[in-house]
A and B are shown apart, each in its own frame.
Chain A
Amino acid sequence: MAKRIENTGEPVQFTFDGQTVMAQPGDTVAAALTAAGIDILRSSVVSGSPRGVFCMMGTCFDCLVEVDGVPNRQACQIPVTEGLTVCSQQGAPDVLEASA
């Protein structure tokens, strides 16, 4: 189980798949979900198996979620803000990529 060793400020609230999650100021979405014991963030694109946070540093893209309606956001790179709506992501949503 995940545990917080200290609280640094007033809690911030957001939702994940409709469920209310409490975060601490400065948490990324991934950190807050981990602290809340939520380990599954999406299903993989080929086999549909559950995936969660892997690297926490923006390298692996295993933590992709939908944030306020925008898919493919890295949960480990996005700071929690009050009222954020986060949803798990199933398979491969249409990726918006620059064709630079």
Chain B
Amino acid sequence: MTQLSPMQPTKVDVAVIGAGPAGMAAAVTASKAGLSVALLDEGQSLGGQIYRNIEHGTPFRDGILGPDYVAGRSLAESLRASDVTYLPRTSVWNISTDNMLDLSRDGSSSQLIADKIIVATGAVERPSPMPGWTLAGVTTVGALQILLKASGVVQEDAVLVGSGPLMWLVAAQMISAGTPPKAIVETTPKGRMAQAMPHILKALKGHRYLTKGLSMMRQVRGAGVPIYNAATDIRINGHEIAESVTFVSKGKEHTIRSSHIALHQGVVPNQQVTRLLRCDHKWDASQHCFRPVLDGQGKTSVPDVYVAGDGAGIGGAKSAALMGRLVALAIAQEKGKAAPERVYRLQAALASDGAVRPFLEAMYAPAPQFVKPAKETIVCRCEEVTAGAIEDAVDLGAPGPNQVKSFLRSGMGPCQGRVCGLVVSSIIAERRKASMDETGYYRIRPPLKPIPLSELANFQPLEVAQK
């Protein structure tokens, strides 16, 4: 361990941001290749989203969360057995041009200089804007799963509204926990199966995922959970707290009473760090999201910056870990180190793990009601800006998200557009008949999270193991 004096930043070969499967795998591989590695994550513990709280799981919770969750434990163990310096509760809030990372940790700030930076910040849930979605008691489906994984807390009367594999997984986990959802309001539009069918042969190569998906759906149906298909015109009713959800399914209007409504429309790359760094991004029309432009080895358009995992485009946890290893190998090679494993094997495994994706992407593309919400729907939750207001700003001449932001303050609240960004861009693109690439995305500026001034004054040196 070396400890440097305050004001003199610690140096490492590789800084990895995010300790999910991608970040853990990248850090272990880079360390095995002989590089000094710091692994930074703002969360309390190793694991990222899928393996959240993996080191503190109880046998009871493992049973509920299933073997794909438990599988993360060996990755966490290999990280602990490595020379990687892992810093939990450490939020990266700025990265300047000289590869200097500003960190916030336990109320004090520190700095780290890295030769290479691997961004492994994962995904966030795609927003599901609808009337009433800002009421207390409305959460994402991911939030319910986090409560279960991290605290063993479940909501007994939850209604799940949305679509996609993660929603079905959480429903199945809730059933295993003894608290099935009160209902599932499925939003996948009619005709999606026909659109997905051209990808089925390829998807069969990833039949393990298809089998798991079907068995989750069977488990949910078998538990007697009411399922409403192809729901539209969804709104959440309530005064202060959600009281019910109303929607149309099969031509009939339904209202289900519950004060816990959980929304889900799949996951999309978390762009905050790659946008902050001004990496090039491109719209992915199949995944319906922006992703950073990468070469075959995870390298971005910005020197020394790499991306691995769902932050590079949604591929799931297995692919995230494979990509983390590949990126680490590319860096090791650049730094003249011998590779601890074979690149082509990883590439083959990555191709086979991704076979199911085109099918899932066609099946679960976001429904039109969430891409272009009704006028009165609040889109920017922080500043309470509606879809209609954004359209009006476009009609008044705002050509893109940054101009809409200065007109309306959308994306200017504390979340910095993390929740509304994609919807704001798609409303503008639709209104102007422009492509998503022409429309672009919010410009992301530091600090990535509000930092109390008192914290900046309280500078602490970091301890990082050197090789």
Contact = CB atoms under 8 A, between A and B. Distances in A.
B151 interface: yes
Contact of B415 (A1, A34, A59): A59
Contact of B146 (A3, A56, A62): A56
| Residues of A in contact with B, size category | 35 or more
Nearest to A41: B136
A50 B136 contact: yes
Contact of A3 (B94, B150, B153): B153
Given A5-B60, A100-B446, A58 B151 contact: no
B154 interface: yes
A39 B137 contact: yes
Contacts of A31: 146-147, 150-151, 153
Contact of A6 (B134, B137, B152, B270): B152
Contacts of A56: 139-140, 142-143, 146-147
Interface stretch (B229-237, B341-349, B356-364, B450-458): B450-458
Contacts of B125: 55, 59
Interface residues of B, number: 59
A54 B446 CA distance: 23
Nearest to B102: A100
Contacts, number: 162
B383 to A, nearest CB: 6
Interface in A12-49: 24, 26-28, 31-32, 34-35, 39-41, 44-47, 49
B382 interface: yes
Interface in B391-409: none
B44 A79 contact: yes
Contact of B177 (A5, A24, A98, A100): A5
B140 A54 contact: yes
A26 B137 contact: no
